[in-house]
Amino acid sequence: MPNSVKTQKKTQKKKSKTSAPKPRSMQGCGIVVDAFEQEGVEVAFGYPGGAIIDVFDKINQSDKFDFVLTRHEQGALHMGEGYARTTGKVGVCVVTSGPGATNTVTGLADAMMDSTPLVVVSGQVPSSLIGNDAFQEADVVGITRSVTKHNYLVQSVEELPQLLKNAFHIARTGRPGPVLIDIPKDIQKATLEDYVYPAEPDLPGYHVQVDADKENIKKAWELIKSSEKPLIYAGGGILNADASDELYELATRCNIPVTTTLMGLGCFPEDHPLALLMLGMHGTVYANMAVQNCDCLIAAGSRFDDRVTGKISEFAPNAKIIHMDIDPSSISKNVEVDVDLVGDAKIILKDILKLAKKCDNSDWVKDVQLWKKENPLRYNGDDDSDLIRPQLVVETINELSDDDAIISTEVGQHQMWAAQYYTFTKPRAWLTSGGLGTMGFGLPAAIGAQKAFPKRQVITIAGDASLQMNIQEIATAAYNNLPVKVVVLNNGWLGMVRQWQDMFYDKNYSTTLTSKPQPGCNISETNPADWRNSEYLPNYEKLAEAYNCWGRRVTKKDDLKDAMIECFQSEGFAILEVWVAREENVFPMVPAGASLSQMLEGMA
Ligand SMILES: Cc1cc2nc3c(=O)[nH]c(=O)nc-3n(C[C@H](O)[C@H](O)[C@H](O)COP(=O)(O)OP(=O)(O)OC[C@H]3O[C@@H](n4cnc5c(N)ncnc54)[C@H](O)[C@@H]3O)c2cc1C
Ligand SMILES: Cc1ncc(C[n+]2csc(CCOP(=O)(O)OP(=O)(O)O)c2C)c(N)n1
């Protein structure tokens, strides 16, 4: 595990000027809350129970941070993620033992895959009962080992302060990720007589390399300088490193087009002429063409995921590859690279910029811009029917949302349309589950972001099926007056799975229909894209009413804009349910395992 030696030294210097804090007598449960305060936690999310009740007994005595009671522990984890990804700080969650802790597994795995910093404190049965099949006992450290960056079962109150300090440090440094601390009930109750929150982590084997090798920096610049067709492939690591400004400087100074992964959207402004938007399975034609034709690919905080590379042996066939990543295990994991730059993307980019001079690349940029002009994202939007195309809904959100709006999504077709048709111009304003692809992520993630930024507009673009996976969190939003706006693209299907069945499984729509025709409605006689006589469950208008929130269902194109304006202007939490064309597919698409050169473009 990496540890930032540089950061440690800086903090030590600062600390030596201030007087050492006096030891205090404190119970384990109080130490947890004190650690949150010392780490500057502003809000924590979670759910109580018997094995963590002592910590909760102290939580409401703190006036330093808020606590949001969620309606499910999975919701708490995604709220923590939404908070962490939009603020750059550690998301904090507290849950009970057994079912409370096992409910966190999906959120932990999600945070692990998407490099999101979380600290999760779980209660455990008393130490003496561990291994006895005690009430609400689960081997949480065993269960979560592979979905956490690190986890601890606390063995004594004496070690608790240091483990809490370590947990926050591990979560936020290097490649960020989730850390779980499982605390038996007796340790929460035990008293430490000489408690002081440690100033430093104690992690001898954990080192983070933040500066890349200087020789490799030179090699990287030489490669960029000598290339004629360079391309930047930027990912979530740029956002983690807060390196958007440096990325912008490199791209514009050296005239290099930029394509962005799903996780990196917003790290480079998509309204810039050098922006090629997303690459990969559902990326733009021109971004994928640029990858296949470039002679130097600069991977910046991106990890060559299979949704990006397609068939690896045919990925970027003509390119020398430079890879900057803070995690050495990412280097040459999927794709063999020519120059590795292990370190923090911001520092690496600054180092490259010290060498970088203006480059021309104008012939290449002209080619790429021609591809961009000739192959725009497009959909069947010009029919005179009153059907609402899902892409139009995203375009309308794009038009009506604030400049600094935060957009979250669930998982499926709507997620891809959001990525394609919303124009991302700012970092840390996009929340999506990329690596794990967790349906149920979008609503709670939006709530976490709204808690962090109460005044900003936060919008969830949801599929009807995904939204139901954590729909109970509407209560959390409504109860806490968090005015998230949810726009549901309701197609009455598990749309993304239906698309695969349509394209690769001979239209065998096995168990993917979530709506049903009304009695007497003959589907075959109606436009298959438009089954407005179907029964859609639930009725989101009525659901919103149940939570005393604004809600409206829209089924006709002409009503869309006004309804969305009303939704966005409404005061609290709101749901706009839009019945979209039912059998729309996401294009472009690279079939799984095919090369990026084999994109299916969809409509003519
Ligand atoms: C239905 C669906 C379809 C998808 N289709 C696509 C698609 O078409 N295109 C696409 O791009 N994705 C797609 N994805 C997402 C995909 O699965 C991956 O999640 C995504 O491509 C990974 O993005 P990334 O490479 O930016 O890496 P991330 O997962 O964001 O990882 C960040 C990388 O940066 C490194 N890093 C972290 N911090 C730093 C730092 N400070 N400095 C330097 N490096 C750092 C990390 O070690 C890691 O290697 C899809 C997902 C779903 C659910
Ligand atoms: C928890 C979970 N279960 C199953 C899946 C597989 N899956 C991916 S997309 C999808 C359908 C999503 O449907 P919906 O939310 O309505 O969105 P749409 O694709 O229709 O836009 C499913 C079942 C998943 N990603 N996550």
pLDDT (tens digit per residue) in 583-592: 999 999 999 9
> Can you say how many angstroms the Cα of residue 200 is from the centroid of all Cα atoms in its chain?
29
According to the model, what pLDDT value does residue 422 have?
98
From the CA of 488, how far away is ligand 2's center (Å)? 13
pLDDT in tens, 275-285: 999 999 999 99
Contact 94, 51 (CB under 8 A): no
From the CA of 509, how far away is ligand 2's center (Å)? 14
Compute the average pLDDT of residues 103-130.
98
| Whether residue 580 has its Cβ less than 6 Å from ligand 2 | no
Closest ligand, as measured to the CA of 433: 1
d(CA 207, CA 551): 50
Compute the average pLDDT of residues 94-121.
98
User: Residue 18: pLDDT above 80?
Assistant: no
Compute the average pLDDT of residues 125-143.
97
Enzyme catalytic residues: 73, 135-136, 185, 496
Closest ligand, as measured to the CA of 305: 1
pLDDT in tens, 529-553: 888 878 899 999 999 999 999 999 9
Compute the average pLDDT of residues 72-91.
98
User: Residue 407: pLDDT above 70?
Assistant: yes
d(CA 19, CA 181): 29
According to the model, what pLDDT value does residue 13 have?
44
Compute the average pLDDT of residues 185-203.
98
Contact 94, 55 (CB under 8 A): yes
| Whether residue 286 has its Cβ less than 6 Å from ligand 2 | no
Please choose from 4, 110, 267, 307 the residue to mutate so as to test ligand 1's pocket, defined by most ligand atoms within 8 A of CB.
307
- Helix spans in 463-525 (H): 464-469, 474-479, 495-504
Tokens representing residue 329 in the block: 């295990």
CA-496 nearest atom, ligand 1: 1
| Whether residue 173 has its Cβ less than 6 Å from ligand 1 | no
**Residue with the two structure tokens 């069945």:** 501
Closest ligand, as measured to the CA of 346: 1
Please choose from 103, 414, 496 the residue to mutate so as to test ligand 2's pocket, defined by most ligand atoms within 8 A of CB.
496
| Whether residue 413 has its Cβ less than 6 Å from ligand 2 | yes
| Whether residue 115 has its Cβ less than 6 Å from ligand 1 | yes
pLDDT band per the 50, 70, 90 thresholds, residue 522? low
**Residue with the two structure tokens 């933040």:** 210
Closest ligand, as measured to the CA of 233: 1
According to the model, what pLDDT value does residue 10 have?
40
User: Residue 526: pLDDT above 90?
Assistant: no
Closest residue to atom 4 of ligand 2, CA basis: 439
**Residue with the two structure tokens 């935060």:** 406
pLDDT band per the 50, 70, 90 thresholds, residue 197? very high
According to the model, what pLDDT value does residue 6 have?
38
CA-264 nearest atom, ligand 1: 26
Compute the average pLDDT of residues 9-36.
78
Nearest of 37, 34, 286, 40 to residue 161 by alpha carbon: 34
Tokens representing residue 358 in the block: 């203006």
d(CA 245, CA 261): 17
From the CA of 264, how far away is ligand 1's center (Å)? 7
Picking from 350-354, 430-434, 443-447, 597-601, which range would have the lowest pLDDT averaged per residue? 597-601
Q: How many CB atoms lie within 10 A of CB 293?
A: 18
d(CA 137, CA 18): 43
User: Residue 286: pLDDT above 50?
Assistant: yes
From the CA of 459, how far away is ligand 1's center (Å)? 22
- Beta strands of 39-146 (E only): which ranges? 43-46, 66-69, 91-95, 118-124
**511-522 burial code (b ≥16 CB/10 A, e <16):** ebebbeeeeeee
From the CA of 503, how far away is ligand 1's center (Å)? 25
According to the model, what pLDDT value does residue 524 have?
67
CA-464 nearest atom, ligand 2: 16
Give how far Cα 226 sits from Cα of 234, 377, 420, Å. 20, 32, 32
From the CA of 435, how far away is ligand 2's center (Å)? 14
Please choose from 106, 113, 115 the residue to mutate so as to test ligand 1's pocket, defined by most ligand atoms within 8 A of CB.
115
- How large a percentage of the chain has pLDDT more than 70? 95
d(CA 75, CA 93): 10
| Whether residue 195 has its Cβ less than 6 Å from ligand 2 | no
| Whether residue 174 has its Cβ less than 6 Å from ligand 1 | no
Are β-strands 516-517 and 534-535 bridged in parallel, bridged antiparallel, or unpaired?
antiparallel
Instruction: Give the type of residue at 372.
Output: K
Contact 153, 75 (CB under 8 A): no
User: Residue 525: pLDDT above 80?
Assistant: no
Compute the average pLDDT of residues 590-604.
89
CA-466 nearest atom, ligand 2: 15
pLDDT in tens, 221-268: 999 999 999 999 999 999 999 999 999 999 999 999 999 999 999 999
| Whether residue 291 has its Cβ less than 6 Å from ligand 1 | no
For the chain, domains (ranges, CATH) are: 5-195 (3.40.50.970), 214-374 (3.40.50.1220), 390-579 (3.40.50.970)
According to the model, what pLDDT value does residue 517 have?
76
From the CA of 307, how far away is ligand 1's center (Å)? 9
Q: Is the peptide bond before 317 cis (omega within 30 degrees of 0)?
A: no
Mean per-residue pLDDT of the chain: 95
CA-514 nearest atom, ligand 2: 16
From the CA of 274, how far away is ligand 2's center (Å)? 33
According to the model, what pLDDT value does residue 547 have?
96
pTM: 0.96
From the CA of 184, how far away is ligand 1's center (Å)? 36
d(CA 473, CA 207): 38
> Can you say how many angstroms the Cα of residue 330 is from the centroid of all Cα atoms in its chain?
19
According to the model, what pLDDT value does residue 530 have?
82
| Whether residue 495 has its Cβ less than 6 Å from ligand 2 | yes
Closest residue to atom 2 of ligand 2, CA basis: 439
Tokens representing residue 502 in the block: 């349509």
According to the model, what pLDDT value does residue 602 have?
81
User: Residue 3: pLDDT above 50?
Assistant: no
According to the model, what pLDDT value does residue 488 have?
98
| Whether residue 264 has its Cβ less than 6 Å from ligand 1 | yes
Sign of torsion, CA 563 569 570 576?
positive
User: Residue 454: pLDDT above 80?
Assistant: yes
Are β-strands 230-234 and 296-300 bridged in parallel, bridged antiparallel, or unpaired?
parallel
d(CA 329, CA 323): 12
| Whether residue 180 has its Cβ less than 6 Å from ligand 2 | no
Picking from 8-17, 33-42, 290-299, which range would have the lowest pLDDT averaged per residue? 8-17
Ramachandran region, residue 496 (left: φ > 0; alpha: ψ -120 to 50; beta: rest): alpha
* DSSP H or E stretch at residue 293: helix 285-293
Which residues lie closer than 8 Å to 294 by C-beta, 6 or more apart? 227, 229, 230, 231, 316, 318, 319
**Residue with the two structure tokens 């397609």:** 310
Q: What number of H helices and E strands is found in the chain?
A: 24, 22
Give how far Cα 11 sits from Cα of 3, 207, 302, Å. 13, 16, 29
d(CA 490, CA 493): 8
pLDDT band per the 50, 70, 90 thresholds, residue 327? very high
Residues in the chain: 604
pLDDT band per the 50, 70, 90 thresholds, residue 289? very high
From the CA of 302, how far away is ligand 1's center (Å)? 6
Give how far Cα 550 sits from Cα of 75, 213, 483, 491, Å. 22, 55, 10, 21
According to the model, what pLDDT value does residue 160 have?
98
CA-325 nearest atom, ligand 1: 44
User: Residue 1: pLDDT above 80?
Assistant: no
d(CA 454, CA 160): 33
| Whether residue 107 has its Cβ less than 6 Å from ligand 2 | no
User: Residue 43: pLDDT above 90?
Assistant: yes
Compute the average pLDDT of residues 406-417.
98
Q: What 3-state DSSP class applies to 25? A: strand
Closest residue to atom 38 of ligand 1, CA basis: 237
Please choose from 466, 503, 512 the residue to mutate so as to test ligand 2's pocket, defined by most ligand atoms within 8 A of CB.
466
According to the model, what pLDDT value does residue 5 have?
34
CA-281 nearest atom, ligand 1: 8
Tokens representing residue 330 in the block: 């990412």
Contact 200, 12 (CB under 8 A): yes
Are β-strands 24-27 and 66-69 bridged in parallel, bridged antiparallel, or unpaired?
unpaired
d(CA 37, CA 164): 12
Closest residue to atom 6 of ligand 1, CA basis: 307
Which residues lie closer than 8 Å to 16 by C-beta, 6 or more apart? none
| Whether residue 432 has its Cβ less than 6 Å from ligand 2 | no
pLDDT band per the 50, 70, 90 thresholds, residue 384? confident
- How large a percentage of the chain has pLDDT more than 90? 91
In Å, the largest CA–CA distance within the chain is 80
